[in-house]
């Protein structure tokens, strides 16, 4: 879909941080306006408080609001990407999608329909989960507008298993379903941060058959961020890109508040730097999932998640806004 200009009214960003209390007022993402407070939206931040697809610790249904609370500290200027993201595009908080917590099939359909409606306005989505089950309906809706998309998947786990306890929809299966349904460009699929034990040695062979390349957390440590970024950029090329971040890609020391933690993960600095290195890629939407705040009373996980979402929003903003708004 071609982005259309919305007129001459500049985007409405967060209230001036020097004149507001970060700990007071509505907890929208980054203190941006709500969707109903603006006429048009370029990037909709939407929550999906759903975690019925988890296989270990529950609690990611509370992740979206924990990320919003942590994002109160975000500021209007992003020095790492050298832009004012909220000046470049209209970012608005779209609230939460209500999905049936007792019926996985119905929940997936509901999430897809809601994402389709938001994307139909011309907005790109920054989705706050929720568990990783939500990636499948999001990808379906995005592919309906862009065709099969490249996928960059940050995670400790493959999430390409065929089923969990016989369930086709669960947080360990979304990307197998997405390949089967033809919503992914199988020439440009990458996992980053994979580590830890598997059910079978064949899990890796099955994953490769689906088209995925793997950058392990050890690869990032040994080869360095810059080399990994270059490899990912070459694989993605000019294709429309969807980024899916499971916060358990981070080491438990950087993200204890998640459902299935694994030792030996990325640092938050490595994750942020890899994402920043992809700023020229054609990012059409993204999700960030599996933040379970009950296991992290120090809010380390939600802070890392809020900064990760901020970098993703910044990439989408800088691609959508300058020509439209004349932003600097």
The verdict on whether residue 157 carries a ligand-binding annotation is yes
Q: Which of 103, 114, 95 is nearest to 53 (CA)?
A: 103
Has 296 been labeled as part of a binding site?
Answer: no
The one-character DSSP state at 53 is T
Tell whether residue 246 is among the known ligand binding residues: yes
d(CA 267, CA 244): 17
User: Tell me, what DSSP letter sits at residue 291?
Assistant: B
Pairing of strands 282-289, 184-194: unpaired
Distance between CA atoms of 209 and 230, rounded to whole angstroms? 23
Q: Is 132 annotated as a binding residue?
A: yes
Residue 292: closest CA among 59, 47, 54, 64? 59
Angle between helices 63-70 and 300-320 (to 10 degrees): 80
Say if CB 267 and CB 69 are below 8 A apart: no
Report the C-alpha gap between 231 and 145 in whole angstroms. 27
Residue 228, token pair as written in the block: 């990994």
Contact 11, 91 (CB under 8 A): yes
Rounded distance between C-alpha atoms, residue 183 and residue 310, angstroms: 26
- What distance in Å separates the CA atoms of residue 185 and residue 8, rounded to the nearest whole number? 36
Q: What is the largest CA-CA distance in the chain?
A: 57
Residue with tokens 């790109």: 124
CB-based burial label for 201 (10 Å; 0-12, 13-18, 19+): exposed
For the annotated binding site, the residues are 132, 155, 157, 159, 246, 248
Q: What residue numbers does the annotated binding site for Mn(2+) cover? A: 132, 155, 157, 159, 246, 248
């Amino acid at each position: 879909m071609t982005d259309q200009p919305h007129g001459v009214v500049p985007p409405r960003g967060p209230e001036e941080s020097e004149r507001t209390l970060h700990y007071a007022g509505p907890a929208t993402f980054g203190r941006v306006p709500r969707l109903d407070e603006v006429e048009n939206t370029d990037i909709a931040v939407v929550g999906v408080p759903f975690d019925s697809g988890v296989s270990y610790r529950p609690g990611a249904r509370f992740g979206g609001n924990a990320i919003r609370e942590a994002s109160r500290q975000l500021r209007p200027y992003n020095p790492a990407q050298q832009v004012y993201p909220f000046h470049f595009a209209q970012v608005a908080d779209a609230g939460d999608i209500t999905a049936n917590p007792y019926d996985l099939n119905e929940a997936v359909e509901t999430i897809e329909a809601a994402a389709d409606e938001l994307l139909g306005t011309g907005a790109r989505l920054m989705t706050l989960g929720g568990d990783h089950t939500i990636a499948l309906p999001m990808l379906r809706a995005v592919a309906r507008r862009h065709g099969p998309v490249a996928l960059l998947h940050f995670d400790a786990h493959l999430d390409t298993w065929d089923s969990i306890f016989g369930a086709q929809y669960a947080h360990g299966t979304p990307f197998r379903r997405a390949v089967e349904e033809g919503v992914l460009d199988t020439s440009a699929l990458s996992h980053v941060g994979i580590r830890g034990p598997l059910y079978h040695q064949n899990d890796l062979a099955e994953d490769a058959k689906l088209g995925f390349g793997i950058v392990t957390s050890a690869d990032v440590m040994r080869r360095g961020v810059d080399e990994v970024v270059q490899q990912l950029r070459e694989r993605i090329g000019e294709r429309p890109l969807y980024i899916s971040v499971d916060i358990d890609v981070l080491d438990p020391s950087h993200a204890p508040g998640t459902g299935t933690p694994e030792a030996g993960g990325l640092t938050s600095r490595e994750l942020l730097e890899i994402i920043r290195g992809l700023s020229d890629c054609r990012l059409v939407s993204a999700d960030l999932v599996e933040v379970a705040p009950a296991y992290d009373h120090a809010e380390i996980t939600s802070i890392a998640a809020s900064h990760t979402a901020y970098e993703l929003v910044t990439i989408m903003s800088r691609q959508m806004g300058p020509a439209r708004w004349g932003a600097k």
